[in-house]
Structure 1
């Protein structure tokens, strides 16, 4: 609870998807994705061309705990027509997966102790704050809330013994709205640089209105 009190949840995003892709005029600058801030900063890509988010290269306990964190943010921040069911579904998850989540939490803390020694608690606290703030970014709020509701609906059918496998599949789905935004912003940034140079404008700008990914691969 101490950690949550310090997390800066930027949860005021409204309609945060860009309009469908349209042809760009040669005499007008490309338009940034809706929700992008001036001089938007996005994570760099790593050596495998993946964005350096808090959800890279996790073990099973970490993936389970990161899913729990993401869904916690959704329960706190997805204030929409479905918010009552979102909160209820999250509370059901906490009850049904109490033991598996407790084991995941213990496993994550043991990992930090092993890696960081006596100062592990401060490092763990900072990383968890970074994780919560990642899922609270307003640039993908609507898509994240949709993904969280879908994951919570599937979680109702997951046995505790299956939860780690479920989390490994669910976490990329919860992260996808944010990485989709990053890709769309990169496309805009390249097009804008071309426009500033006077190059021919791209025939089409990528849209952030990404079709929701399906959860058919998740453990039933």
Structure 2
């Protein structure tokens, strides 16, 4: 059991070290030597767990996908409108991208031209937005004439744009940035009754937000 626990810890350390290297240097420049050093393990230990840098990148994407499911679950709190759930999900995503290097690196790897994504985080996020937008439509929360496709296009384009720009400037991932986006979008997206009760700043508070 002790060996298994050490193996799990080593693997987790390597995934995090790889994410940090990919985030700072990019997939192409990041080296296995630097990753193993950052993780505090030998090159042999790295190769025991991962045969290549590509395999490490796949593992980072898988870990990021797990984090995304936690950050943006398909169901919201009881009594929360479907549209509020979508607003909250975008705030949680921005916050997690600021604070979680594994999630951030997973998204960055989705746009890496040097490799084919194993788990495309940007596409996974798009799919989650589409499911939530469809629920908004089904519950009658969208303004007449607003289609699911239009909601998905607007929300995904903006949030992925914030993610890309946030790599260099974290202000793009700040709560205020996401809030202003929703203040602009909600009047054209939501029915009047729903728009009046959806909070563009999100309906939750966490230690990382002010």
Q: Under TM normalisation by the shorter chain, which class is it?
A: under 0.3
Q: Relative contact order, CA 8 A, sep 6+: which one is greater?
A: 1
What is the TM-score with the length of structure 1 in the denominator? 0.25
What is the TM-score with the length of structure 2 in the denominator? 0.26
